[in-house]
Amino acid sequence: MLRIDYQARQGRAVFAWDIRENSAPWAAMLKRVAFDTSRDAALEGVAGVSLPWWSFAGARDQFLQVFRANGLKLGDGLSISTEAAELLRQSQRIAETYRAAAQTPPLSANDLKSALGASGFVRGLSDHQLVNVGRIAALPAAATFSVPGAGKTTEALAFYTYRSEPGDRLLVIAPKNAFAAWDEQIVECLPEFGTQFVRLRGGRDRIRTALSADPQLMLVTYQQLTRIQDLLAQHLAQHRTFVFLDESHRIKAGVAAASARSVMGLSHLPVGKLIMSGTPMPQSIGDLLPQFGFLYPEIPAQEDTVVDLMRPIYVRTNKAQLELPEVTRNLRELPMAPVQHDLYQLMRQEVAREASAVLNAQGRQAFRSLGRSVSRLLQFVSNPSLLASQIGFAHRDLLAAVLAEGEGPKLEYVLRRARQLSQQGEKVLIWSSFVRNVEYMASRLADLGAVYIHGGVDAGSEDDGDTREGKIKAFHDDESVRVMVANPAAASEGVSLHRVCHHALYLDRTFNAAHYLQSEDRIHRFGLPKYQKTIIEIVECVGTVDETVRTRLKFKIDQMANALEDSSLRPDPIPIDPTDVAEVDDPEEYTTGLQLEDVRALAYDLSRAE
């Protein structure tokens, strides 16, 4: 007798049978389907196999084929526990809901406003928000991919307000820097709600105590979730709870990453689900797979089908719909200094060989090593002195000669340009992907009151000038603070600077399209007057890895624009004539976002360079 059960503590589907049935054809077939379906499948003793429930839900049809092919029927060679049977019925209902999504009419604006008002939702929705919420509120699981500043948090709370029943809970999984926005919006949208978000943080005992009080609103980071996934799974199984993923592209790595596995392990438990991201597929179409899988694990998806599968269940407000003024993007191309050029050629050849080796033998360790090498190349082009402290650098004598030439043309230009803009009355935002660059530029521009943000700057009170919030407030309010220097990995989310700053300089960029797009959005977002000019300057060295980065970012962003049908996602910088002398002369382990297709482009570009 084949038995199917649900193991609640681990959130797994378990198949078990008698040892004497190990030789039955269906036993081998079940194990094969389980291991083909999930990398987390595991043998259960000598006569059983298990896999995450969400994986089982997505492969229901394959398992059903095994049952039919071997004549297994309920009560005749097959039994299903009460818990597993109920979850299977739920999966069937959700799958049917998804298949009807394209034909499900959106809620009318009047009906939506009436229902929200009756539930205490007081914030007025804009026209585009009414359209979006009317669409997603008609579905049990949906996505809002609107650009930053379009009001995704408000849309999400309206979705929860409309679909929830009295007493339903809400768990938001989000980056820590997004927590404040949820606290602010719950007050703006539901002032009579009478409760605030409880932050699930600290050790397991502290979080277990917090959950035992059964809070209605909960916030947890993706990192914390990996440590307490079992506690949350147990809580969700016992209480009706909605689960939202803020910045949902953070699970784009899928089951290869612990945070994504933890999120997927909860996907069968919520009564309602929503994912939120302005950049849902920053690297490739495949980024959508785990996000769609969280919403509808019951619907099998592949890279060539996921865009079409996502279309009926997502909404997006783009910058054109918000009527934001256009961004001016200028590309400043500079030649390297002579000795810097010579050393770059040596480094380029070494990285080209390493990239070719990775393509021939795609080992994980080799890929990571290449990422570090590419990082060094990007650092060298932006600021050669960053390599001076790297132990074992192979060309130290030549590097000493490079440093004698100066700071490097990109760094010199950015520092000079920041001073020029400050003298013109502008506040300036400077981006670099390297922590030491961030701190160094802030120190060089200290006379302009420069502040900086990177991953080592703690969140905290606005009244503390050493915290992230304190530095942001100073840049906003203090006229003597003319410059902010930031790392996109740490400051591309949850920061709004568009009311005081309209000029950004990029000392360097990486292959991470999400970091680039979201960093741009810090100064170009909803709320800008139509006359306001926003200028982005991207600084590159000619004939270097900078050009490969630009090409790959354009490809990734164009791919996302096509998938989301958003023509406003076309940030293609316009080269500036380098003879414009007035402009030029007047004034932790690092993650590059590198993917296999980026490596191919690098191997080609670096090997054909002079």
Question: What's the pLDDT at 217?
Answer: 96
**pLDDT for 171 beyond 50:** yes
Question: What's the pLDDT at 573?
Answer: 57
Question: 371-417, pLDDT tens digit by residue?
Answer: 889 999 999 999 999 998 887 788 888 999 999 999 999 999 999 99
Q: Where are the alpha helices (DSSP H) in 406-467?
A: 409-423, 435-444
Contact call for residues 550 and 544 (beta carbons, < 8 A): no
Contact call for residues 590 and 433 (beta carbons, < 8 A): yes
Nearest to 141, CA basis, from 242, 218, 225: 242
**pLDDT for 369 beyond 80:** yes
CA 428 – CA 450 distance, rounded (Å): 9
What does the DSSP assignment read for 157-209? HHHHHHHPPTT-EEEEE--GGGHHHHHHHHHHH-TTS---PEE--SSHHHHHH
In this predicted structure, which of 1-5, 49-53, 96-100 has the lowest mean pLDDT? 96-100
Average pLDDT of the chain is 90
More confident residue, 459 or 53: 53
Question: 566-581, pLDDT tens digit by residue?
Answer: 876 655 555 544 333 2
CA 275 – CA 10 distance, rounded (Å): 23
**pLDDT for 586 beyond 60:** no
**pLDDT for 590 beyond 60:** no
Question: What's the pLDDT at 596?
Answer: 83
Q: Using a pLDDT cut of 70, give the percent of the chain over it.
A: 95
Nearest to 151, CA basis, from 176, 171, 181, 175: 181
Question: What's the pLDDT at 219?
Answer: 97
Contact call for residues 432 and 438 (beta carbons, < 8 A): yes
User: Mean of the pLDDT values across residues 259-264?
Assistant: 91
Contact call for residues 484 and 497 (beta carbons, < 8 A): yes
Contact call for residues 516 and 201 (beta carbons, < 8 A): no
Measured CA distances, 530 to 523, 526, 545, 569, 573 (Å) = 14, 10, 36, 19, 21
Contact call for residues 428 and 483 (beta carbons, < 8 A): yes
Question: 115-137, pLDDT tens digit by residue?
Answer: 999 999 999 999 999 999 999 99
**pLDDT for 253 beyond 70:** yes
In this predicted structure, which of 68-77, 316-325, 476-485, 502-511 has the lowest mean pLDDT? 316-325
Burial of 146-155, coded b for 16+ CB within 10 Å and e otherwise, reads bbbbbbbbbb
Q: What is the three-class DSSP state of 6? A: strand
Question: What's the pLDDT at 572?
Answer: 54
User: Mean of the pLDDT values across residues 280-305?
Assistant: 92
CA 299 to chain centre: 22
CA 578 – CA 239 distance, rounded (Å): 63
Nearest to 436, CA basis, from 376, 476, 493, 394: 376
Residue 429 parent element (H or E): strand 428-431
Residue 564 φ then ψ, to 5° = -95, 0
Sign of CA pseudo-dihedral 602, 605, 608, 610: negative
CA 325 – CA 131 distance, rounded (Å): 22
Tokens of 318: 């783009």
Question: What's the pLDDT at 585?
Answer: 27
Q: Biggest alpha carbon distance in the chain?
A: 86
More confident residue, 400 or 149: 400
More confident residue, 177 or 429: 429
Helices and strands (H, E) in the chain, number of each type: 24, 20
CA 183 to chain centre: 21
Phi-psi region of 609 (alpha: psi -120 to 50; beta: other; left: phi over 0): beta
